[in-house]
Amino acid sequence: MRLGTQRTGLLILGFLISACLPMPTATQATAPEPGMTSAQKYHPLEPRVGIEGIDNVLAAVASRDLQLLRSLVKFTPTKCTLRDGLGGPPKCLDGEGEGTPVEVLPLLGSEGSFIRKDGIENWQGIEVSGLYAIYRVSAAVKSEDYYPAGQIAVIFVAAENKPAVSLRLSEGGIVRVDHIFDTSPESLEAILQREASELILVPISRR
pLDDT of 111 reads: 81
> For residue range 142-184, what is the model confidence (pLDDT) as tens digits?
988 899 999 999 999 998 789 999 999 999 899 999 999 999 9
Does the structure show a pLDDT above 50 at 96? Answer: yes
Tell me the CA distances in angstroms from 187 to 41, 147, 150, 190, one per residue in order: 15, 21, 20, 5
pTM (predicted TM-score) = 0.79
pLDDT of 58 reads: 96
* Backbone φ/ψ region at 150: left (φ over 0), alpha (ψ -120 to 50), beta: left
In the chain, the domains with their CATH numbers are 44-206 (3.10.450)
Q: For the chain, give the percent of residues with pLDDT over 90.
A: 68
For residue 48, the one-letter residue type is R
Distance CA 127, CA 5 (A): 64
> For residue range 185-196, what is the model confidence (pLDDT) as tens digits?
999 999 999 999
